[in-house]
């Protein structure tokens, strides 16, 4: 069933433009994934998966992250670009900034975190949680777009669906976090568990709670839509620069992980 080697996971307000797109449904051991569009971007086969479902019906805490990642893997995807709307915790950041996280802190509590629920007991390494090769490619493409770009950010994931309190944001800042979102985990870890390269392409839709007057999902979605063209331009450029040779460790993740 191999169809595409590059995957794009679209977050709030983002879908991707591609040539010859056909929509397919992939069943997985974890249930169905949202309809995936497979097509061509810059001459390369790309599979686009809308994380929240075709009609944006899945809230962040109910997304079937295992089905989504499994489905992309089943299509032959080796390298994943994931888009994530985020609030800025770091006061140097501004709305509209582009962020490519280098690390994360996981504050989710109610999500299935792994494909490896049974023997053999498997502990994967996340010393470098986001693929360094894809990060370099994406950072270069983002910088070339002329936007403000941060490449050293720590991403904090909450369960949602509510936004955070100002006290939580102060605590997260004290922990060294730069941006907050609800969908980055466990997606990045599940991709690594299946030895896929994964990078998160975040865009700041708002300053986090306490740093602006109120948070409004409506305004956040509006801001996501405004950034759509920039995201598409950056992803197109990044996809052009992806080579099939993987020199990172992502493809060898499972070596030495089993007890």
Contact residues for ligand HPA, defined by CB under 6 A: 85-87, 163-164, 180-182, 205-206, 208, 215, 220
Q: Ramachandran region of residue 195, left (φ > 0), alpha (ψ -120 to 50) or beta?
A: left
Of 45 and 87, nearer to ligand HPA (C-beta) is 87
Minimum CB distance to ligand HPA smaller for 150 or for 163: 163
* Cβ burial 151-168 (10 Å sphere, 16+ → b, else e): bebbbbbbebeebbeeeb
How far is C-alpha 58 from the chain's CA centre? 16
| Angstrom distance (rounded) from CA 193 to CA 254 | 7
Output 8 or 182, the one with its CB closest to ligand HPA: 182
Question: Which residue lies nearer to ligand HPA by CB, 71 or 220?
Answer: 220
Residue 181 CB, nearest approach to ligand HPA (Å): 5
Q: Least Å distance between CB 227 and ligand HPA?
A: 12
Q: How far is the CB of 224 from ligand HPA (least distance, A)?
A: 8
Chain residue at closest Cβ approach to ligand HPA: 87
Beta bridge partners of 157: 106, 181
Give least dist CB 175 to ligand HPA, A. 15
Two structure tokens written together for 15? 């879908």
Shortest Cβ 90–ligand HPA spacing (Å) = 12
As given in the structure block, the two tokens for residue 61 are 């805490």
Query: Which residue, 27 or 59, is less far from ligand HPA as judged by CB?
Result: 59
**Do 134 and 188 touch, CB atoms closer than 8 A?**
no
């Amino acid at each position: 069933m191999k169809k595409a080697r590059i995957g794009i996971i679209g977050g709030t307000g983002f879908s991707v433009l591609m040539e010859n797109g056909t929509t397919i449904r992939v069943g997985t051991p974890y249930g169905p994934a949202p309809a995936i569009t497979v097509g061509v971007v810059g001459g390369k086969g790309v599979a686009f998966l809308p994380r929240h479902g075709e009609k944006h019906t899945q809230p962040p805490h109910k997304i079937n992250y295992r089905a989504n990642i499994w489905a992309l893997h089943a299509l032959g995807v080796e390298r994943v670009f994931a888009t994530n709307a985020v609030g800025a915790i770091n006061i140097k950041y501004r709305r509209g900034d582009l962020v490519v996280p280098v690390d994360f802190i996981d504050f989710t509590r109610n999500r299935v975190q792994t494909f490896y629920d049974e023997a053999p007991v498997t502990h994967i390494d996340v010393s470098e949680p986001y693929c360094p090769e894809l990060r370099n490619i994406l950072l270069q493409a983002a910088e070339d777009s002329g936007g403000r770009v941060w490449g050293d950010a720590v991403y904090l994931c909450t369960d949602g669906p509510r936004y955070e309190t100002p006290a939580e944001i102060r605590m997260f800042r004290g922990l060294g976090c730069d941006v907050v979102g609800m969908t980055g985990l466990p997606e990045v870890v599940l991709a690594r568990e299946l030895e896929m390269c994964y990078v998160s392409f975040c865009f700041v839709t708002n300053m986090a709670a306490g740093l602006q007057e109120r948070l409004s999902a409506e305004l956040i979605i509006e801001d996501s839509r405004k950034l759509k063209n920039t995201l598409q331009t950056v992803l197109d450029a990044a996809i052009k620069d992806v080579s099939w040779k993987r020199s990172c460790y992502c493809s060898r993740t499972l070596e030495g992980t089993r007890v």
